[in-house]
Structure 1
Amino acid sequence: MAAVRRCRDLLRSLRPILWKEGIFTKQPVPRRSLYMIAAASGCTLAIHWFYKQGQDIVPVVHARETEKNEPTKEKATHRELRFRQFASVEYQGNIYMTPQDFLESVTEESPRPRIGRIRLTAQDVESMLRQTPSRSRGSNKLFRNLHDKGIISYTEYLFLLCVLTKPRSGFRIAFNMFDTDGNQIVDKKEFLVLERVFSKQPDSEDGEGKKKEAVETRIQDTSLMVHFFGKYGNDVLKYDDFHRFMENLQSEVIELEFLEFSKGMNTISEVDFAHILLRYTLLDRSEIEECIARVKDRIQQEKGITFQEFKKFCQFLNNLDDFSIAMKMYTYAQQPVSQDEFQRAVRVCTGFTLAKDVVNTVFQIFDSDGDGHLSSPEFIAIMKDRLHRGSRSHLMHTQGTWEAFRQCIRNEMKSN
């Protein structure tokens, strides 16, 4: 009750603002209504208002959020907000993710509860970088082995997210983007182009060299830089090294998800597979439950899905844009897609086919009327949400707006 009273008092103090925003009229607001609004909103109104004014109020994290190198708070994207939410360490006024933070950001809905961020010392960072393995010791357990003994910057976070959604055919394109001089190797200076691309500091023709030099001097060595270019930054990255890193990272995240559901077994059930596919989508809970129920009803005998079969499906999702082009042929012809036609499109786009049980499970998830056919536009739209996991920036266009929140408050008052 004390917390509700505090919320009530806070709402009273914001009454002029609420009048201005048109939520309340300039009529006296009964005490009972204030109690109800306070209890229903849980002070969310106040939090949202201060967030709108540019204050950084992030759930779970209560540490100081004025770091000089933190992603800008003006018109923050979903990725920026998610980075702040999961980043658990701070060094010299900058916030960083640990390798464990990164893995959690792409496999979990929200970060582990914590109070504030850990402030690292120079000795802490030096020890972390010293423990970072070289490229020759890289593996598909790199991030899990480093755990919280490493730092990842925001721009590297964006790079790693990009890696996770790249098809194998895109590995060479990504490498060539870094290889600015076209000599088939990437050195540390070329890799730092990434920092300038995402730094949001436009280069001008006058003094361009000075500006670039200033950016480079501010960049702190991270675990990824040491892994790629060595302790002293003198090593170079060849395409084979780059390809191996990208493949290992994709495998690591896929394996982490698989192990979450397999519980040490060699397979996951078809129902588990459905849960994994739908966990990051925009479907609401009732729709997800309907999809899961269809899988349970229609697949009576559980065969199980192996890790390799699951991995192949995830690799197929990375080719979703090409698959979408193939499926448009059926869409334009207004032809339904059968399992055989689905497999043919997969083979054309990827060069391999998926396990029959995997394709059958996919069809049971999305074939709502049970006619044995798939609505490819719906499937592709939902799988794109799944592909981008917790980093779907387009969500910010439809959720969390002031107008939507104001309407919510109005509805709450009407119901009371």
Structure 2
Amino acid sequence: MFGSWRAIHSRLKPHFSSQSALVGLIVVATAQTASSSNEELKDSVADKKKKEKKKTHWHTKQRHEESDQQSILLKESLKKYKEDLAAFDSVGARFDTFASAMTKEKDANGVRRKAMTFTDFLHSLVLPRFRISHPSRSLQYKCDFVGDADGLISYEECHLLYHLLEIPVEHFDVAFLMFDLDGNGTVDKAEFLEVLSSVLNNIKDKRLPEDSTDEVQVEASYHLLLHFFGKHGNKKITSKEFVAVIQSLKESLLRAEFDMYVHKENKKEDYITVHDFAVTLISCFDPKHLPAMLDRLQLLRASDERVTWREYLEFHSVIQNHLEGIKLAFELQPNHEITEDDFIKAAYIVSGVRLPAHIVSMAFRIFDIDGSGTLDENELLRVLSARNQTHHHSVKMWPPAKFWACVKNAE
């Protein structure tokens, strides 16, 4: 029996030996494969880290380059702004530069006169400001109530419109009350021209000599008078109707500025970045004080917040029409440091408009020099009031006594 087992074992031994060898080879091969895979994995991880490091370095370098380019752009824009302030120091200088059309009619010397399109007029106010963008050449603006029969604006009308855009709304309200002799809330054409003359007499062009005869011609706007009083000039208008026209002009001006930075998305409201909105806030500020704000302006580039056209119009309209009321609200406060909530509350009280918190917060980030979260009342008002001027005129505020006397006499 034992002999038979030995015989079987002797016959199977070679088979077991070869099988063991095969198993051994498989084990070795598996180990080598695993080792190779580990090495490849290590190499792959190392390569990935190397690529990520290289990518990060590239992005960092790109950000630095973009930041450098932006700094250069801001410096060049500031330089251009200073040059423009010096070059466009009068209505005539702006008109001569931006007027791109010629009238059909000729003057006494047989020469056709230069004239502005409505787009030229808007650009003459927007482009000399501090800005970092340019208007689209294909974008044109229209207005039904300015210009001659061809919609062209003469120098005289340009001069008149510049003045009208700077006059506070309440001045017209008081003037209309003064000349509304029958108390029905309307004025005719003759009375309206008296209203304009009265209000315009309170404007002084600080660039002109005291004895200058460069007066504003109140009948310079053909379409404006036609719009108000009809073809035969026998209609009457209210203060509200006149103010609505001025507001429409101001809205067109804001739209022209907004369009320089606009982003459009399908089925969504047009918007600009908070960075570009901040640029519009300081666009009329004294260039001597701008450099201190440009560094803080740069910080907003990383923000993905947006300002829609509705928000933009709302904010600037409140500033244009109610800044004096906001100023009075601030003066009634014992503390001269203004918080974001103070600003929102004051704007709401005088205008009935509750400004979006994120818009006000962004404005504070620009003007809050020491990072305290509050603003000095005088500094804030100085910046915002600059938006209401075209760098030509200083509006003389009517004394309160005279104001109330006008109202009382009209009652």
Q: TM-score range by the shorter chain?
A: 0.5 to 0.7
Distance, in Å, in 1 between the alignment partners of 2:374 and 2:184 is: 49
Q: Which amino acid aligns with 2:260?
A: E
Residue 341 in structure 1 maps to residue 356 in structure 2: no
1:180 deviates by: 5.8
Residue 325 in structure 1 maps to residue 325 in structure 2: no
Equivalent pair of 1:188/1:233 in contact (CA under 8 Å): yes
Residue 190 in structure 1 maps to residue 209 in structure 2: no
1:296 deviates by: 3.6
**Aligned CA distance change for structure 1 residues 220 and 393 (closer, same or farther; 3 Å):** closer
Equivalent pair of 2:176/2:195 in contact (CA under 8 Å): no
Alignment partner, residue 247 of structure 2: 247
Q: Which of the pair has more CA radius of gyration? A: 2
Alignment partner, residue 297 of structure 1: 299
1:160 deviates by: 3.3
Distance, in Å, in 2 between the alignment partners of 1:335 and 1:370 is: 16
**Aligned CA distance change for structure 1 residues 237 and 145 (closer, same or farther; 3 Å):** closer
Alignment partner, residue 122 of structure 2: 103
| Higher mean C-alpha deviation, range 77-86 or range 253-262 | 77-86
Q: Give the 3-state SS of the residue equivalent to 2:390 in structure 1.
A: coil
Distance, in Å, in 1 between the alignment partners of 2:114 and 2:91 is: 14
Distance, in Å, in 2 between the alignment partners of 1:184 and 1:343 is: 33
Q: Which runs of 5+ in 2 are unaligned?
A: 1-85, 130-140, 202-215, 396-411
Instruction: Using structure 2 for the length normalisation, give the TM-score.
Output: 0.55
Alignment of 1:111-150 (within 5 A): 141-142=142-143, 149-150=150-151
Alignment of 1:156-167 (within 5 A): 156-157=157-158, 159-165=160-166
Distance, in Å, in 1 between the alignment partners of 2:148 and 2:264 is: 20
1:380 deviates by: 0.8
Distance, in Å, in 2 between the alignment partners of 1:156 and 1:179 is: 25
Distance, in Å, in 2 between the alignment partners of 1:109 and 1:167 is: 22
CA RMSD of aligned residues (A): 4.1
1:245 deviates by: 1.8
Equivalent pair of 2:337/2:375 in contact (CA under 8 Å): yes
Instruction: Using structure 1 for the length normalisation, give the TM-score.
Output: 0.54
Distance, in Å, in 1 between the alignment partners of 2:375 and 2:226 is: 47
Q: Give the 3-state SS of the residue equivalent to 1:234 in structure 2.
A: coil
What percent identity do the matched residue pairs reach?
28
Alignment partner, residue 262 of structure 1: 262
1:167 deviates by: 6.1
**Aligned CA distance change for structure 1 residues 147 and 236 (closer, same or farther; 3 Å):** closer
Distance, in Å, in 2 between the alignment partners of 1:199 and 1:348 is: 29
Distance, in Å, in 1 between the alignment partners of 2:95 and 2:394 is: 12
Equivalent pair of 2:144/2:223 in contact (CA under 8 Å): no
**Aligned CA distance change for structure 1 residues 312 and 167 (closer, same or farther; 3 Å):** farther
**Aligned CA distance change for structure 1 residues 298 and 382 (closer, same or farther; 3 Å):** same
1:366 deviates by: 0.6
Distance, in Å, in 1 between the alignment partners of 2:280 and 2:232 is: 41
Q: Which runs of 5+ in 1 are unaligned?
A: 1-57, 61-76, 111-139, 201-214, 395-416
Q: Which amino acid aligns with 2:290?
A: I
**Aligned CA distance change for structure 1 residues 223 and 339 (closer, same or farther; 3 Å):** same
Q: Deviations over 1:189-235 (max 9, x none)?
A: 223336755999xxxxxxxxxxxxxx99x966722222222333233
Residue 274 in structure 1 maps to residue 293 in structure 2: no
Equivalent pair of 1:99/1:147 in contact (CA under 8 Å): no
Q: Deviations over 1:116-144 (max 9, x none)?
A: xxxxxxxxxxxxxxxxxxxxxxxx95269
Equivalent pair of 1:98/1:149 in contact (CA under 8 Å): no
Equivalent pair of 1:363/1:373 in contact (CA under 8 Å): yes
Alignment partner, residue 232 of structure 1: 232
Residue 223 in structure 1 maps to residue 227 in structure 2: no
Q: Which amino acid aligns with 2:337?
A: P
User: Aligned pairs, how many?
Assistant: 273
**Aligned CA distance change for structure 1 residues 359 and 147 (closer, same or farther; 3 Å):** farther
Q: Deviations over 1:254-310 (max 9, x none)?
A: 2222122114451111110111111122133xx535424314426743210111111
